[in-house]
Structure 1
Amino acid sequence: MTVATSFGACASQRYAGLDLRPGAAPADIQQLARVTQSGSKQAQLDLGIRLQEGRGIPVDHGKAARPFARVATDSAENRMLFVPAAGSLRSTILPIRQGTKITRSAEARARLQTLESSKTTSQERSSGAPTFIHAKTSAMIEAVDQLSRQREKLSLHDLQVAFQVKLERDEKYQGYGQLYHKRGGEPGVSVFVLPNGDLRLSIELNADQPVEQWRDELLHKGWRSFDQIRHPFIQDTFRRNETELRIEHNTSTVSNITVFGLHASQAF
């Protein structure tokens, strides 16, 4: 018990590179880290996601990889049980041998792969601007970014030039407002124009554009990471001024981009 208590006293001060001393990190992050010490795979996954995406704590991909790796393993291992302090007794961590295999987490593996790919697809930012291998992705992000920055209301021509596509009005569309879209091929661009002039842009992509690149470049361009929806599919939300951008993805690659807060000109 002496060994376990000593080990627990030491480990309770730091986990996955996080300082768990009072006030050294956000309280909710510290609490989540302590839960992970009990062996909770869900808590480990949640901690890794918050470190990867910078939710309530600075982004740190190196630290994020550690809990992801613990979740992804399916081999038998020692599970560490965190026992909180009670009375005069210190908090401690007790090792418990698990003889059964732990089910592998597909999401943890995918996120690990994303972290690994980000090391090879992005170079050091010596000039303050990211350089990526996926030029097609950069071009798409730049198009969306420039449209959101345009102070004038957008025309159909603006959208066609931005994405190098021809948009046609869907005469059969019976919904609210008007629908324009590109027929066939990638990207699948659709534009909804409401009677009040609000414009919603939707872009369907093949699963070959890395979500990590979208996140990094948007943050570099001044977008703020706002929220993530995890049901029924994963969506990351970014905002800048009145514009909101949602990235639908599978933790590795992007499948759809939706942009709200744009406005159509009378040229539509």
Structure 2
Amino acid sequence: MSVLAACSDGGEAEGRPSPTQASPATSASGSGSGSGRPSASPSATGGATAPLVPALDEAKQPKNAAEARASLGRIIADQDVFGPDVTRRVPFESDSRLWPVLGQDCAWQTSGLPADVLATSTRHFQIAPKEGQGRLKLDVTVTVHRNREESGWETARAMEEVLRCPDQRLRANEEVKGLWGGALYLGEQMNGWTEDSFNEVGKYVGEEGGGPYHYIWNQAQFGPVTVAVTGKGAAGFTTETINSLVVQGTSRMMLNAKQEFGKAAD
């Protein structure tokens, strides 16, 4: 079934940070191991499973962290996915040993990798500021879990976080407000491309001033993998432009994940 998490703030917000965007952790605990969540199935209305999602090849699933890191490197996007205006930010990659955790105070912190995560990586991109435009920021993340159930629980926790904290502090000078989110399993409504799809939208207030601006965070799942792209708006960029870039990145990485772990067509 689909799930919608809404808030009464009336605004939009940014979303979960990459590990380098979160504050240092005050606790060493990460999110728990995910298990027991059913795999995606056709919608309750009788829609057939979409052919754009291949069957998972269990034999291709990584058995350890080294295999997961190798697969991750073949899935994660680089700047060429987004077009010629997008360049790497500095730092370009987050510390892969860290995991973002949303505290009880709705502020993001970092911790060590939870037990259900074999490998994760986040890259940072931008459209550099120029006359009439601010700095548009894009972050892409790929996480490889031990199995499909654990990657599914990552999405479930994301939905719970929006309900609990519609306003979130990314770090001292960055925050998102009025977050709301929606999730769709494969076969529900327009989701025919991923086992589970989740979006957050809201308003982003960044370190470079101005705003609030449009924020969107899009996550998709295939087998043991989740891929996500965050778009942090800036002056001079339309909502449509930001959303389009986020969809480009998510779609490419999801295609890569299917090629990495899906069964070959007969």
Max Rg structure: 1
Q: Which has the higher strand share?
A: 2
Q: Which has the higher helix share?
A: 1
TM over 0.5: no
The TM-score, its normalising length taken from structure 1, stands at 0.27
The TM-score, its normalising length taken from structure 2, stands at 0.27
